Amino acid sequence: MAEELDAILIQVCIPLPIPMIYTGFTDAAHVQGWLSDHATIEAKKGGAYDLAWNEPKGWRSEGEVLQMTPDVDLDVSWEGPPELAPLMNEPLPKTHVYVRLQESPEGIDVTLEHAGWGSGDAWEAARSWHFHFWDDRLHRLKDYLIKTAYG
């Protein structure tokens, strides 16, 4: 069996308090400010982490909170967009997205790790698509939170 692809690993530093950043991942209203067009989130282990987008049309990630430690980390299952659904979403297990917050001299390091990729060209394309998606969204998160905090 071929080896799985490496996890996507992206980090941004946000100069705001940890609770404010953590809420950016666990409060549906905030998640809709940077990640998805619609969100239903039950911030507890086993809770729903359902996200939906207007574009690409029909994209819905019906995830679950796999693990969470308030103000420290969050791990959720993930479903890819419609064109990647046959590859990523069935059969289980899905990929998962792990976020960790850690203090650094410049602020709070937000590290996102998207893992669970298979192997082969189709998986490489899916991983590449998500790398660009997450890189864009984490920068949107930073902009959104700073604008929310300071106006």
User: Looking at the domain assignment, is residue 129 inside a domain?
Assistant: yes
User: Looking at the domain assignment, is residue 2 inside a domain?
Assistant: no
Q: What is the CATH number of the domain that holds 43?
A: 3.30.530.20
User: Looking at the domain assignment, is residue 119 inside a domain?
Assistant: yes
User: Residue written as tokens 């209203």?
Assistant: 29
Assess whether pLDDT exceeds 90 at residue 115.
yes
Residue 93 CA, distance from chain mean position = 16
- Summarised one tens digit per residue, pLDDT across range 28-41 is 999 999 999 999 99
**Residue 58 structure tokens:** 């029909």
- Specify the number of domains making up the chain: 1
- Summarised one tens digit per residue, pLDDT across range 48-104 is 999 999 988 889 999 999 999 999 999 999 999 999 999 999 876 689 999 999 999
Assess whether pLDDT exceeds 60 at residue 1.
no
